[in-house]
Structure 1
Amino acid sequence: MDFMASNEAVLKVKRWPKDTITAGCRHSVGLREDGTVVATGDNRYGQCQVSGWRDIVAVRAGNVHMARNTGNTHTIGLHVNGTVVAVGWNKHDQCNVSDWRNIVAVAAGWCHTIGLTADGTVVAVGKNKEGECNISGWRDMVAVAAGDWHTIGLRANGTVVAVGNNRYRQCDVNDWSHIVEVSAGYLHTIGLQRDGRVIAVGSNKHEQCEVMNWQGIVAIAAGSYHTIGLKADGTVMAAGSNKHGQCQVSGWRDIVAIAAGCAHTLGLQSDGTVVVVGENEYGQCDVNGWQDIQVNEHV
C-alpha cells in the first residue's frame, strides 16, 4: 500500500469502515478477497465456524476480559446485502441478528452486538445490564465500537457518544471533537483525531492510555490492556500490557490494518498476509497460512 504523505488527506472520516481482520479473546478472524472468511483459535462455542460464510464485507470478533478464562465469545459477519450473520456464544442473545437489515458496520462486545444502519441509526442485541445497548436515540452515526460493558458511537460531525459502564470513566467522551475513528477495550476507550493524534480515557493501570504523544496515526485498535496505532508509513506503535508480547510490533513494516484481542495483536500487510504477536495458547496466532485477506485503504 502506498501511504499518502499528507495526514490531512489520509485522515478523513471513514464512513462505514469495513473490518477485514479482527481479534477476539482467544480467536482471530480474517476476510478474504473473495468474500469468504477464515478463523483460527478457540472454537469452544463455535465462534470459528465461519467456513460457510459467503459475500461478507466486514467481520468483527467479540472480545472478553481474559481474566474470566472462559473463552465465551462470538463472531459477527456483515453481508454485502446489509444483513448480518453470527456464530458463537449466545447466552444473552448477542447472536440474534438474523432480522437486521440495511446494516453498514458492526461491532461486537462481550455479551452484546451493535449494528450501524445506512441511515445513521444504531441497533443492538444482547445483555444490557450496564446500559450498553441503550442506543435507540443515536442519530447521524458513522462508526460504532463495543467494549466489554460499554458502547461508543462516532457522529458524522466528529463528536462521540457513549453508553454503558463508566466506572473507570471509559465513557467520558462527550468533550471529544474532530474524531475520525473510535475503539473500545475492556475498560478504556481510544479516539483517533483528524490530525493523526490519539486520545484515550478509562483505566490506565497498564499504561494503555499513554498515547498522547503519538502522531501520524491512521488507524487504532484497543485490546483488553493494550492499545495499538497504525502510522501513515506502515509501521505500528503500541502501549500497555506486554505480558504476552502483544506489544512487540516495533519491527512490523508495510502494515495496512491492525486488530487487538485480549492479549494478541494482528497486523495486515499490503500483500494480504497477516502477522501476529501475543498469547497463542489456543492457536489464535496461527495465521501463517492466511493469504488474500482484503486490503482496505484508509482514505
Structure 2
Amino acid sequence: MDYISPKESALKVKRWAKNSIAAGRRHSVGLKSDGTVTAVGDNNYGQCSVSDWFDIVAVAASNVHMARNTGNAHTIGLKSDGTVVAVGWNKHNQCDVNDWCDIVAVAAGWCRTIGLKSCGSVIAVGRNNYGECDVSGWRDIVAVAAGDWHTIGLNSDGTVTAVGNNRYHQCSVNDWCDIESVGAGYLHTVGLKLDGTTVAVGQNKLGQCDVSSWRGIVAIAVGSKHTVGLKSDGTVMAVGWNEYGQCNVSDWYDIVAVAAGCTHTIGLKSDGTVVSVGGNENGQCDVSGWCDIKVPGN
C-alpha cells in the first residue's frame, strides 16, 4: 500500500466536500445539524421526500437545465457510515446507490450520480451517452462535480480530470493546477484555486465563465448558466444568466456556504439560516423558515 503522509491525508479530508445545502432544477435541500434533511420545491418525482432520512452528513441535488422537462431531478444523501440514499427521478437508474459503501463525497448530475470512495476511486450510475460515467479508472481523486453531460474529478495534486461531452470545451481542464475545489454547470466548468482565484472553461454566452478577476474566494457554486463565488469576508458575487434574479446576491453577508440551481441561488448564513434569490415557481426559494442547517466545520 502506498504511504500517505499525515499532511496529504488531512488535505484529502479537507477536500471531501460535505455540502449541507444543495440546489436542484426546481428544489432546494438542507442538511440539519441533527443529521436530518429538509427540502422544498418541485416534488413530482419524490425528489423532496427526504423527511425520513437520518444520520446524513452531506447532500446533493441534480441541477437540471431548464430545457429538461420539469420534475426530472433527484436528491442524494451521504450517511455517516459511508452509505448513500437517493430519491427522485430514476429513469436511468441514477438512484440505484443502495449498495454503495465507503463513500466520502457525492455529486448529482442530470440522470446520474457520482460517488467518491475514501481510497480515491470513483463510481457512477445513470445515463452514460457521452461517457460521463466513465470514471472507473480514476484514482487519487479528492473531489467530484457533475454537470449535465460531463463529470469533473479533482486530483490530490491539485490537477483536474474530466469525462463526458466536450462540445464547448467544458472538459478542457488538463492544464489546470493548484485547484482546491471544482464545480460543473450545464456546459461550463469552474475551478477554485488555492490562492483564492478562479478559472473557468466552457460555454460563456452569458458571462458564466467571467471569473478571472475574482479574488479572495473560498467556495464556489455552479448553476446551469451562472457561477457563484463566496468571499472570505462572507459576501457573495455571481456572474452569468440572471433572468430570474439568481445572480442578485451583492447584498448578502455573513454567508458560509452557497449552492446554485438552474434559476435560483441559496446561501447558508453562519447562524444556520438560509437566504435565497431567483425563480420560485415551485417554492424552491421558500427557505426563510429554515434554521439549524449544518454550518461547515461544526
TM-score of the superposed pair, with normalisation by structure 2? 0.95
8 Å CA contact 2:78, 2:106 repeated in 1:
yes
Question: Partners of 2:68 and 2:270 in 1: how far apart?
Answer: 35
User: Which residue does 1:54 correspond to in 2?
Assistant: 54
Does residue 21 (structure 1) correspond to residue 21 (structure 2)? The answer is yes
Counterpart of 2:63 in 1: which secondary structure?
A: coil
Q: Which one-letter code corresponds to 2:102 in the other structure?
A: N
Q: Which one-letter code corresponds to 2:224 in the other structure?
A: S
| CA displacement, residues 233-257 of structure 1 (integer Å, 9 cap, x when unaligned) | 0000100011000000000000000
User: Which residue does 1:5 correspond to in 2?
Assistant: none
Provide the aligned C-alpha RMSD in A.
1.3
Q: Which segments of 5 or more consecutive residues in structure 1 lack a partner in the other structure?
A: 1-10
| CA displacement, residues 168-224 of structure 1 (integer Å, 9 cap, x when unaligned) | 000000000000000000000000001000000000011000000000000001101
Counterpart of 1:14 in 2: which secondary structure?
A: helix
Does residue 220 (structure 1) correspond to residue 191 (structure 2)? The answer is no
Question: Partners of 1:217 and 1:225 in 2: how far apart?
Answer: 19
| CA displacement, residues 5-32 of structure 1 (integer Å, 9 cap, x when unaligned) | xxxxxx9983311000000000000000
Does residue 64 (structure 1) correspond to residue 59 (structure 2)? The answer is no
Question: Partners of 2:156 and 2:292 in 1: how far apart?
Answer: 31
| CA displacement, residues 97-145 of structure 1 (integer Å, 9 cap, x when unaligned) | 0000000000000111000001000000001000000001100010000
Question: Partners of 2:43 and 2:294 in 1: how far apart?
Answer: 23
Question: Partners of 1:239 and 1:145 in 2: how far apart?
Answer: 19
8 Å CA contact 1:13, 1:181 repeated in 2:
no
8 Å CA contact 2:258, 2:268 repeated in 1:
yes
Q: Which one-letter code corresponds to 1:254 in the other structure?
A: D
User: Which residue does 1:238 correspond to in 2?
Assistant: 238
User: Which residue does 2:286 correspond to in 1?
Assistant: 286
Q: Which one-letter code corresponds to 1:29 in the other structure?
A: V
| CA displacement, residues 146-170 of structure 1 (integer Å, 9 cap, x when unaligned) | 0001000001100000000000000
Counterpart of 2:67 in 1: which secondary structure?
A: helix
Identity %, equivalent residues: 71
Q: Which one-letter code corresponds to 2:236 in the other structure?
A: V
Counterpart of 1:59 in 2: which secondary structure?
A: strand
8 Å CA contact 2:15, 2:180 repeated in 1:
no
User: Which residue does 2:179 correspond to in 1?
Assistant: 179
Question: Partners of 2:210 and 2:14 in 1: how far apart?
Answer: 24
User: Which residue does 2:30 correspond to in 1?
Assistant: 30
8 Å CA contact 1:20, 1:31 repeated in 2:
yes
What is the CA-CA distance between 1:67 and the residue it aligns to? 2.0
Which stretches of structure 1, 4 residues or longer, exceed 4 Å deviation after superposition?
A: none
Question: Partners of 1:223 and 1:261 in 2: how far apart?
Answer: 5
Question: Partners of 1:14 and 1:262 in 2: how far apart?
Answer: 27
What is the CA-CA distance between 1:68 and the residue it aligns to? 2.1
Question: Partners of 1:243 and 1:231 in 2: how far apart?
Answer: 23
**Pairing 1:260-299 to 2, within 5 Å after superposition:** 260-297=260-297
TM-score of the superposed pair, with normalisation by structure 1? 0.95
What is the CA-CA distance between 1:48 and the residue it aligns to? 0.1
Question: Partners of 2:37 and 2:240 in 1: how far apart?
Answer: 30
